């Protein structure tokens, strides 16, 4: 068969988790919690199944959940949106992102992506017939390089993909960054695909800034969210996309033929859980900040340099004082011995990959984080 994605292999997350299993290593590579979601959510899920929510939901998602989400957006972000015409429940943010790109990128269109970036964006752009134009985030800060972004724009530019809080670096965008993006997107008539799946995982008293909060971005953005992150249920593969009615209508045209709907009992369970505990998402940051601090504190005696993690559940470790080896080789070597798996950051770049950084997921139980840190201190 003639491949449509000839240079794409199996994702790094699948590969590193498989290697971790093979060598019985601590798995801090693929991002997922190793602890259970809230008990009340598990109970809501079994109730939802037992009470008969087992057939197709409406294509856009259960109305009760969409209404809850509109309430959440008003509560946490002071954003108004119409649950019927602006919110679509999707089987994971990956599918939502894919559908938003498929729905709006035409053959020959260019889409700006900022490296290092999550691995699903470029293949989706390619499948839509578009061209991903990769622009690197800046040096050590990983802040957007506006001059380089502007220089990469052309009359064919159709969209820019952004991601804050950022996987894999753990950096977050400031209000000023969004303001600059707003001006640029308006000037160049760009659509914005905003990956905000880690919106509730922001630390040290900061606030998450959403594209939905700036009118000039709100009118041209698909904003993507994931219940996997917010409710510690990555395996439930459910999220949602918020976009203005005209963009939502196009997104749904694609979504109805990619997945059609998201899983019904998951939607009912999350709607019920949010009804009884609407403040839950706001409690997440404290629990994850505690995990981050536990991990980082335990790593103090190590030879690694810790990059600041302001959001997400990822911590970057700079190993350049320890080894000159490429990060892919080291992450595999350390998975085999001493037995700790991480994600090499270079795989998130298309060209001129940054070396010397490994990503560790701290969405893990305390004893796992402490054992991991102890191993890393001996390297």
Residue nearest to ligand PMP (CB): 92
Q: How far apart are CA 359 and CA 220, in angstroms?
A: 32
Residues in 2-41 at the binding interface with ligand GLN, rule: CB under 6 A: 11, 13, 30-31
- What letter would DSSP give residue 134? E
11, interface contact from ligand PMP, ligand GLN, none, CB < 5-8 Å by kind: ligand GLN
Residues that bind ligand PMP (CB under 6 A): 31, 92-94, 118, 163, 167, 195, 197, 226, 228, 234, 237, 239
Least Cα distance to 199 among 249, 235, 242, 248 occurs for 242
- Work out which of 100, 163, 164, 167 binds ligand GLN, going by CB under 6 A: 167
Q: Which helix (H) or strand (E) holds 39?
A: helix 39-50
Strand partners, 343: 359
239, interface contact from ligand GLN, ligand PMP, none, CB < 5-8 Å by kind: ligand PMP
By beta-carbon proximity to ligand GLN, the closer residue of 66 and 328 is 328
93, interface contact from ligand GLN, ligand PMP, none, CB < 5-8 Å by kind: ligand PMP
Asked if 214 and 175 touch (Cβ cutoff 8 Å), the reply is no
Least Cα distance to 31 among 206, 220, 183, 198 occurs for 198
Strand partners, 242: 87, 223
By beta-carbon proximity to ligand GLN, the closer residue of 167 and 169 is 167
To the nearest whole angstrom, how small is the minimum distance from the Cβ of residue 11 to ligand GLN?
A: 6
Least Cα distance to 273 among 94, 92, 72, 91 occurs for 72
By beta-carbon proximity to ligand PMP, the closer residue of 239 and 356 is 239
Q: Per-residue x/- mask for ligand GLN, residues 229 to 258, rule CB under 6 A?
A: ------------------------------
210, interface contact from ligand PMP, ligand GLN, none, CB < 5-8 Å by kind: none
Q: How far apart are CA 321 and CA 28, in angstroms?
A: 21
Asked if 338 and 325 touch (Cβ cutoff 8 Å), the reply is no
Asked if 335 and 260 touch (Cβ cutoff 8 Å), the reply is no
To the nearest whole angstrom, how small is the minimum distance from the Cβ of residue 33 to ligand PMP?
A: 12
By beta-carbon proximity to ligand PMP, the closer residue of 15 and 237 is 237
220, interface contact from ligand GLN, ligand PMP, none, CB < 5-8 Å by kind: none
In sequence order, which residues have a C-beta less than 8 Å from that of residue 335 and are 6 or more positions away? 16, 19, 20, 23, 25, 29, 341, 342
Give the distance from CA 259 to its chain's centroid.
20
Site of interaction with ligand GLN (CB under 6 A) = 11, 13, 30-31, 167
């Amino acid at each position: 068969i003639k491949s449509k994605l000839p240079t794409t292999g199996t994702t790094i997350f699948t590969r590193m988790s498989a290697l971790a299993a093979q060598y019985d290593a601590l798995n801090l590579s693929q991002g997922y919690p190793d602890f259970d979601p809230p008990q009340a959510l598990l109970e809501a899920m079994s109730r939802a199944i037992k009470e008969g929510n087992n057939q197709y939901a409406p294509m856009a998602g259960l109305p009760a959940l969409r209404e809850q989400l509109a309430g959440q957006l008003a509560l946490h972000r002071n954003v108004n949106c119409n649950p019927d015409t602006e919110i679509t429940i999707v089987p994971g943010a990956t599918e939502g992102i894919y559908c938003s790109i498929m729905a709006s990128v035409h053959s020959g269109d260019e889409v700006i992506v900022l490296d290092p970036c999550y691995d699903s964006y470029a293949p989706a752009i390619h499948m839509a017939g578009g061209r991903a134009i990769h622009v690197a985030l800046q040096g050590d800060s990983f802040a957007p390089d506006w001059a380089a972004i502007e220089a990469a724009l052309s009359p064919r530019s159709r969209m820019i993909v952004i991601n804050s809080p950022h996987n894999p670096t753990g950096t977050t965008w400031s209000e000023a960054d969004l303001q600059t993006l707003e001006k640029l997107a308006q000037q160049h008539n760009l659509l914005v695909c905003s990956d905000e799946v880690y919106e509730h995982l922001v630390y040290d008293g900061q606030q998450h800034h959403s594209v939905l909060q700036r009118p000039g971005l709100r009118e041209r953005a698909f904003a993507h969210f994931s219940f996997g992150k917010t409710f510690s249920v990555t395996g439930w593969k459910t999220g949602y996309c918020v976009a203005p009615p005209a963009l939502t209508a196009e997104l749904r045209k694609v979504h109805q033929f990619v997945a059609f709907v998201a899983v019904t009992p998951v939607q009912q369970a999350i709607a019920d859980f949010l009804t009884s505990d609407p403040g839950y998402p706001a409690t997440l940051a404290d629990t994850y900040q505690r995990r981050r601090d536990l991990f980082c504190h335990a790593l103090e005696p190590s030879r690694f340099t810790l990059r600041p993690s302001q959001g997400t559940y990822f911590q970057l470790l700079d190993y350049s004082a320890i080894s000159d080896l490429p990060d892919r080789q080291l992450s595999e070597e350390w998975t085999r011995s001493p037995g700790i798996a991480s994600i090499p950051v270079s795989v998130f770049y298309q060209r001129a990959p940054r070396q010397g950084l490994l990503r560790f997921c701290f969405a893990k139980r305390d004893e796992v984080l402490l054992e991991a840190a102890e191993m890393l201190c001996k390297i």
